[in-house]
Amino acid sequence: MNSYKITTLNDFIILRQKDFPFAKGELSSLLSHIGTAAKIVNKKINKAGLVDILGRAGMVNVQGENQQKLDVFADKVFTDALRSSGECCGIATEENQNEIVFSDKLARKGNYVVCIDPLDGSSNIDYNVSVGSVFSIYRRITPRGEEVNNEDFLQDGTQQVAAGYIIYGSSTMLVYTTGNGVNGFTLDPSIGEFCLSHPCMMSPPDGRIYSINEGNYIYFPQGIKQYIKYCQEKDESTGRPYISRYIGSLVSDFHRNLLKGGVFLYPPVENMPEGKLRLVYECNPIAFIAEQAGGAASDGRRRILEIRPESLHQRSPLYVGSENMVNKVLKLLI
């Protein structure tokens, strides 16, 4: 019988704990709780077509978007898991206008806050298109023992201690970084464990995939229109014309481009002058992972990670992926 060396997410977190000489296992425990919540959400998503969990919950979230039942379910699962971890003293989530303060004694002692989009791409759920969860973890600014407040959640992306996403696709993967590279874990349903499947993920510096909703073409800044034309020109020395791939689910589009090389673009458009994606719980975690994998992430003028958030739900244009491709976009935007 050949030996099949499995490294589960929890094995790996503990193994890598030495990267945090001062950590006493708190961040490790928090990441492990996120992994557990992801398994629960995954189970529900996998059965979505079979139980009455599809479709709208009949509510509207802070974004004014119709909440899908799975959105509401995922939000509750991650909130409960983070609250019970004892390491997290509050969360900012896409589904709630303000931060959620965990005021019980244990949680108030937590060192960390989490910003999360519990189920991104949820409009795709009813059509069996892959969706994802995206999260950032920060050390709190307010003193331990006190209740968190807004400032704990409006830190710039360079302050993230960890970030990750779960992609509920043909297989379910959890990809995260704690600032020491990016590692991917695939859920093995037969043992109910996330197992290390993509160690040290690196984004190719170049790629041939560009991901953008070309339906908004007429609203794009001139530089983006030029970039799309650049992608479509024939130039075999640079592998053009490139390939257009767009799922309409940030985590799925980003994950594919991270592995194969490519660039994802969400520019300002007519009814969203700051773009559509949320800085705090979509752009920042994705940008942290992209940079840790050797890629780049910009709003067209600055590194995403250097933007000082002013509000929880503020939007930002996002150009993210292979470094040379992002740099080409930025050159045309100047």
**Per CB under 6 A, 250 contacts ligand P6P:** yes
CA distances 326 to 71, 220, 248, 313, 321, Å, are 31, 16, 19, 24, 6
CA angle 270, 55, 175 (to 5 degrees): 75
**Per CB under 6 A, 183 contacts ligand P6P:** no
The structure tokens listed for 120 are 């991104």
What is the footprint of ligand P6P within residues 105-124 (CB under 6 A)? 120-121, 123
Shortest Cβ 126–ligand P6P spacing (Å)? 13
Q: By C-alpha distance, which of 211, 173, 166, 189 is closest to 43?
A: 189
Shortest Cβ 251–ligand P6P spacing (Å)? 7
Shortest Cβ 133–ligand P6P spacing (Å)? 11
Is the Cβ of residue 120 or residue 291 nearer to ligand P6P in the bound state?
A: 120
Stretch that binds ligand P6P, among 18-26, 174-182, 193-201, 248-256 (CB under 6 A): 248-256
Shortest Cβ 93–ligand P6P spacing (Å)? 14
Are 285 and 134 in contact, with CB atoms under 8 Å apart? yes
Instruction: Please tell me what DSSP assigns to residue 279.
Output: I
Which of residues 29, 61, 155, 249 is near ligand P6P by CB under 6 A? 249
What is the footprint of ligand P6P within residues 184-223 (CB under 6 A)? 213
**Per CB under 6 A, 94 contacts ligand P6P:** no
The structure tokens listed for 84 are 């019970």
Half-sphere exposure of 57 (CA within 13 A, CB side): 18
User: Side by side, which strands form the sheet with 209-211?
Assistant: 243-244, 209-211, 262-266, 318-321, 296-298
Which of residues 33, 108, 255, 276 is near ligand P6P by CB under 6 A? 276
Q: In the complex, which residues of this chain contact ligand P6P (CB under 6 A)?
A: 120-121, 123, 213, 248-250, 276
